[in-house]
Each structure stands twice: as C-alpha cells, then as structure tokens.
Amino acid sequence: MIHTSHLVKQFGSFKAVDEINLEIGRGEIFGFLGANGAGKTTTIRMLCGLLKPSSGEIRIDNLDIIKHSEQIKHKLGYMSQKFSLYPDLKAIENLQFYAGIYRVSFEPALKRLEPILEQFGLSSILKTLTQDLPMGYKQRLSLVAALMHDPPLVFLDEPTSGVDPQARREFWQVINDLAQSGKTIIVSTHFMDEAEYCHRVIIMQDGREVALGNPAELKQEYGSANMQELFLKVLGVSDAKL
Ligand SMILES: Nc1ncnc2c1ncn2[C@@H]1O[C@H](COP(=O)(O)OP(=O)(O)OP(=O)(O)O)[C@@H](O)[C@H]1O
Ligand SMILES: [Mg+2]
C-alpha cells in the first residue's frame, strides 16, 4: 500500500527526515514512534502528499505520489496532529464540510459511518458546536471526518493526545476494526501501550530509522520487557529526557 525509498526532507541545511525506507501492506496498523522533533509528522505529511520530499520516492498503491497526486488524494484520509475542524460549526456541519472537500454525497456517507458514530457515542452530539465538545469527542470527530470518503489508507497523527485512558482504549478499538475491514492505518503516538497494538512500528530519531519491526519481535531482539523499555533502550535516553 505504501512504498518509500530513500525518503528525505530537508528544511534548509537541516534534515528532518533522513533516508526512510518503508513497505507497508494493506490492512496493516503501522506506528511511528520517536521523541518530539524526530520527524514523524514530516514523514506522514510527505506520505499524504502535503509536503514535497526533497529527494526519494513515494508510491501509494503503486502510484507515484507526485505524478498521480489527484488519484491518490481520494485514497487517503488524514487526521492532523493539530486539531483542524471548525470550532464554530456544529459537529455534523464539520462532517458535511469534509464530505464536500472529498466530493462525496453526505447522506450515504453518514449512513455508512453510523456504526462508528454509535461506537464513538457521537450520534447524540452531532448538533453540538464543535468548540463545546470535550477533547476526546473532538478527536473522535476528526477521525470520522477523515473517513468521510471511505479511504483505504488512513493517517492518524497523534490521534489520542489529550485523551483519557478509557477513551484511548475505545479509540483503539475503532482503529482495530478499521484495520480488520482492510484499511491500512498509519498512526503516530507517544503512548507506548498504544505501540503494542501496532502490527509494526518504526522508531525514529533525528529523522532516521533506529528500529523497525513487530513489537514482540523487537522486544525479543533488544531483550526488553515492554515497549517503554525498548523505546528507551533503542534511543539510548533516560526516562527523565522524555
Ligand atoms: N516547516 C518547517 N521548517 C523548518 N523546520 C521544520 C519544519 N517542520 C518541521 N521542522 C523541524 O523538523 C523536525 C521534525 O519535526 P516533526 O514535526 O516531523 O517531528 P515529530 O516527530 O512529529 O515531533 P512531535 O512528536 O513533537 O510531533 C523538528 O526539528 C522540527 O522543528
Ligand atoms: Mg508530530
């Protein structure tokens, strides 16, 4: 579903993403881990076609991201790290707006998303102003907005930051269901319990890959009891620095 080779993003002389090579398959939940500034968002934005790589190649579903940008746009949904829904619109109006952007009919899209809206407890708050929703609900609404056009590939950049543990679990239940239905999920997180839910993760440091693989296999390889320990070991940092 995603192929990158020698992906690089340079801001002036600073390399934010440095030679990242990825092969991500359909239905996979793939996690981006790394400290602040490691290059997760920059990589994700390039994979979404929002940021032009300085060099290297990206193919989405076997299509070159530059040559086939229009076609690819309809294949992916993106939930940005920064909350990007309109606060002064009702929840349902934000969904309508997204349906408009992706040029899909709103009513059938809403009908299709009904099970997720129910699962998320959003059905009853659709007429609430977005700014009045608690953080957890805003994040859920952002995810639903990214699904309006039923994309096979979904990017979630720190979707659970600022969300309580119970709501995070519910969020991950939905992520799992989406992957089981065949969608490919790319997710970044600072929560190491969430890293355990990913099929594979990449750990980035200073724009580079420092580890990549299945959480269980990585833990075994590094002799770590859990992802938190693995993460610290791989990055060679102390707890205090995180
Ligand atoms: N437009 C830009 N111009 C210059 N530098 C940038 C730009 N965007 C990002 N950077 C820098 O690139 C590096 C990687 O940033 P990025 O946002 O990708 O990190 P991240 O891993 O997503 O971090 P976080 O966990 O804080 O979200 C940082 O040092 C950041 O300051
Ligand atoms: Mg980021």
d(CA 180, CA 174): 10
Quick check: CB of 41 below 6 Å from ligand 1?
A: yes
The best mutation among 11, 186, 203 to test binding of ligand 1, ranked by most ligand atoms within 8 Å of the C-beta, falls on 11
Q: Are strands 200-205 and 29-33 parallel, antiparallel or unpaired?
A: parallel
Distance 37 CA to ligand 2 centre (A): 7
What's the pLDDT at 180?
96
Would you say 187 and 175 are in contact if contact means Cβ atoms under 8 Å apart? Answer: yes
Q: Mean pLDDT of residues grouped by 10 in the chain (242 residues)?
A: 98 97 97 97 97 97 94 94 93 97 95 96 97 94 96 97 91 95 97 96 98 97 94 79 48
Distance 37 CA to ligand 1 centre (A): 5
Measured by CA distance, the residue closest to atom 9 of ligand 1 is 42
Would you say 55 and 78 are in contact if contact means Cβ atoms under 8 Å apart? Answer: no
Note the pTM of the prediction, 2 decimals.
Answer: 0.95
The best mutation among 13, 20, 40, 51 to test binding of ligand 1, ranked by most ligand atoms within 8 Å of the C-beta, falls on 40
Would you say 24 and 30 are in contact if contact means Cβ atoms under 8 Å apart? Answer: yes
Would you say 27 and 179 are in contact if contact means Cβ atoms under 8 Å apart? Answer: yes
For the CA atoms of 25, 158, 151, 50, the dihedral, rounded to the nearest 10 degrees, stands at -90
What's the pLDDT at 84?
87
Determine the atom of ligand 1 nearest the C-alpha atom of 35.
25
49: left (phi over 0), alpha (psi -120 to 50) or beta: left
CATH of 26-49+73-241, one of 3.40.50.10800, 3.40.50.150, 3.40.50.300, 3.40.640.10: 3.40.50.300
Which of the ligands is closest to the CA of residue 20? 1
Structural domain boundaries in the chain? 26-49+73-241
Which of the ligands is closest to the CA of residue 157? 2
What's the pLDDT at 188?
98
Select from 215, 71, 210 the least CA-distant residue to 153.
71
Measured by CA distance, the residue closest to atom 10 of ligand 1 is 16
152: left (phi over 0), alpha (psi -120 to 50) or beta: alpha
Distance 110 CA to ligand 2 centre (A): 29
Which of the ligands is closest to the CA of residue 45? 1
What's the pLDDT at 83?
86
Q: 3-state DSSP call for residue 3?
A: strand
Quick check: CB of 38 below 6 Å from ligand 1?
A: yes
